[in-house]
């Protein structure tokens, strides 16, 4: 029997986001193949005004887990700046976080790329994320971010929902979204599960607060010139073997400790993909471990190990 005919339950997480990101055709093919005889569980952060025609049901039962009375521990502040100084103001703000994890939101990928270029000119380490990037490049930037090799991620709203990224201490709105819903989703990356969080609005002198933000929002004044924070604690290493090469996280730890000369607490997040792996290693030990592992094998297979590009 075809395995798809044995499927009894279909679960799709972030269903509304999948539609927004342009996966209608793929979902249509999926549901057509399934035939519609299953039970369905579709999660969504927002209520869809109209369900797609390819869904095999029309009036689903809705379960709402949002608690309107929950007290938010988000602190919202605005930083005013001249238009010509906006990126520099952003860098001064983020530098003041002293490598605490930060997510910077822009409305358009062109803004992400432009800001990234200026950050690079100042040798300010960071990652980027937007929809025009190749999937593998998105994946690698998220791996670095999750593993502490980048503590600043400059992104479009692609990073506001549906991604496996860590608890964020600071959310910065370099550009404010037109819709309140997007603003809420961005801020939802911090102050989660009763934790405290900070959100900042970088507002140029030719910009105004949208109607959905209280005009009495607290102001933050930055002092001093730009002073770069220390580099991230970890560096991300690339290994040219992964799960389909029968490589496990335990194999990688064994190589790094037995042959690379590292201790357990020198090693951070390990991510294994199909044919590659990534591991965070304390920055000051990277040259040592690369030297020790030169020409070493992983499970009797010669692999390339280098700083992730």
User: Taking the alpha carbons of 15, 21, 23, 25 in that order, is the dihedral positive or negative?
Assistant: positive
Specify whether domain 74-219 bears CATH 3.40.50.300. Answer: yes
pLDDT digits (tens, 9 = 90+) for 55-105: 887 777 777 665 544 445 789 999 999 999 999 999 999 999 998 999 999
Q: Check if 74-219 and 234-307 are the same fold.
A: no
Where residue 32 falls among pLDDT bands split at 50, 70, 90? confident
| Percent of residues, the chain, with pLDDT higher than 90 | 62
Q: Are 101 and 168 in contact (CB under 8 A)?
A: yes
**What is the topology classification, in CATH, of domain 234-307?**
Alpha-Beta Plaits (3.30.70)
Q: Find how far residue 230's CA is from the centre of its chain.
A: 21
What pLDDT score does 69 carry? 42
What pLDDT score does 265 carry? 95
What pLDDT score does 63 carry? 75
Please determine, for residue 174, whether its predicted confidence score (pLDDT) is greater than 70: yes
Q: Are 236 and 307 in contact (CB under 8 A)?
A: yes
Please determine, for residue 1, whether its predicted confidence score (pLDDT) is greater than 60: no
What pLDDT score does 70 carry? 43
Please determine, for residue 135, whether its predicted confidence score (pLDDT) is greater than 50: yes
Helix axes 86-95, 109-121, angle to 10 degrees: 70
Q: Are 261 and 292 in contact (CB under 8 A)?
A: yes
| Annotated domain spans of the chain | 7-66, 74-219, 234-307
Tracing tokens 């040798």 back to the chain, one arrives at 123
From the number of C-beta atoms within 10 Å of its C-beta (0-12, 13-18, 19+), residue 37 rates as exposed
pTM here?
A: 0.79
Q: Mean pLDDT throughout 244-271?
A: 96
Q: Mean pLDDT throughout 218-222?
A: 95
């Amino acid at each position: 029997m075809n395995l798809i005919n044995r499927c009894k339950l279909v679960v799709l997480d972030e269903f509304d986001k999948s539609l927004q990101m342009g996966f209608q055709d793929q979902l249509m093919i999926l549901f057509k193949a399934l035939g519609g005889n299953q039970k369905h569980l579709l999660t969504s952060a927002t209520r869809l005004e109209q369900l797609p025609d390819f869904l095999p049901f029309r009036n689903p039962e809705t379960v709402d887990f949002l608690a309107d009375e929950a007290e938010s521990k988000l602190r919202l502040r605005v930083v005013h700046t001249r238009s010509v100084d906006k990126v520099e103001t952003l860098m001064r703000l983020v530098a003041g976080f002293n490598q605490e994890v930060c997510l910077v939101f822009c409305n358009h990928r062109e803004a992400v790329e432009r800001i990234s270029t200026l950050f690079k000119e100042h040798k300010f380490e960071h990652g980027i994320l937007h929809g025009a990037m190749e999937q593998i490049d998105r994946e690698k930037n998220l791996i670095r971010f999750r593993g502490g090799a980048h503590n600043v991620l400059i992104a479009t709203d692609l990073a506001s929902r549906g991604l496996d990224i860590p608890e964020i201490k600071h959310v910065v709105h370099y550009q404010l979204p037109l819709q309140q819903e997007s603003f809420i989703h961005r801020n939802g990356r911090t102050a989660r599960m009763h934790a405290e969080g900070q959100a900042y609005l970088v507002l140029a002198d030719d910009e105004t607060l949208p109607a959905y933000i209280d005009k009495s929002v607290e102001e933050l004044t930055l002092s001093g010139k730009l002073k770069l924070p220390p580099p991230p604690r970890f560096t991300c290493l690339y290994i040219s073997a992964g799960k389909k090469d029968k490589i496990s996280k335990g194999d990688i730890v064994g190589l790094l400790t037995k042959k690379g000369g590292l201790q357990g607490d020198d090693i951070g997040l390990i991510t294994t993909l199909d044919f590659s792996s990534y591991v965070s290693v304390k920055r000051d030990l990277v040259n040592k471990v690369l030297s020790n592992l030169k020409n070493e094998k992983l499970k009797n297979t010669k692999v390339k190990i280098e700083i992730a590009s």
